[in-house]
Amino acid sequence: MDPQHLSSLTVTGEVDILSINTANGDRNKHLLSPDFFDSQCFPKARFESTKVTPDADGKNATVTGKLSIRGTAREVSMRLLFGGYGPGFKEEHRLGFRMSGTIMRSDFGVSFNSKMPNGLAMLGEEVVLSWAIEAVESVNPAPTVAKSPYGAS
């Protein structure tokens, strides 16, 4: 994890569809139904980066990757806005950023809509995705060698 070289980052995330909460029980239930996310068949949404392209100033980037929703995977590009980098409470390295982008919901099989009394569609086609992310650098511990209680062999 090197904030000076954003192109070395990889971004992977998964969302449990059952965690959707709009503060409206009926709407939540409808979003989990086959009209929208079909959580019974597709309980997770996932993003995995394939390329990070830093801006000229090196502070922000465009993240390209595979977004999977409802069993449909599409390549999407998201904007990555660098927030900060530094030690955590236990001196581990932490990196903060925001990532956002716009998708077309029908590209992922979400086509439900209904009309309002004035005849206009209730739902728009574009959906803005936004994440606030705090990443912790993973450190692979040195392998340990178990000692035999019976002495050297």
Please report whether residue 88 resides in a domain.
yes
Please report whether residue 74 resides in a domain.
yes
Tell me, what CATH number does 114's domain have?
2.40.128.110
Helices (H) and strands (E) in the chain, counts: 1, 6
Domain count of the chain? 1
Provide the pLDDT confidence category of residue 147 given band limits of 50, 70 and 90: very low
Please report whether residue 67 resides in a domain.
yes
Instruction: Render pLDDT for 8-54 as a digit per residue (tens, 0 to 9).
Output: 878 888 999 999 999 999 999 999 999 999 999 999 999 999 999 99
Range of the domain at 66: 6-136
Q: Please, where are the H alpha helices in the chain?
A: 25-32
Please report whether residue 26 resides in a domain.
yes
**What 3-state DSSP class applies to 18?**
helix
Number of other residues whose CB lies within 10 A of the CB of residue 95: 19
pLDDT at 3: 59
How many Å apart are CA 11 and CA 136, to the nearest integer?
A: 12
Q: Is-above-0.75 flag for pTM?
A: yes
Please report whether residue 130 resides in a domain.
yes
- Please compute the mean of the pLDDT values over residues 49-77 and round it to a whole number: 94
pLDDT at 1: 54
Please report whether residue 143 resides in a domain.
no
Instruction: Render pLDDT for 72-120 as a digit per residue (tens, 0 to 9).
Output: 999 999 999 988 888 888 888 888 889 999 999 999 999 999 999 999 9
* Summary mean pLDDT of the chain: 86
How many Å apart are CA 19 and CA 36, to the nearest integer?
A: 14
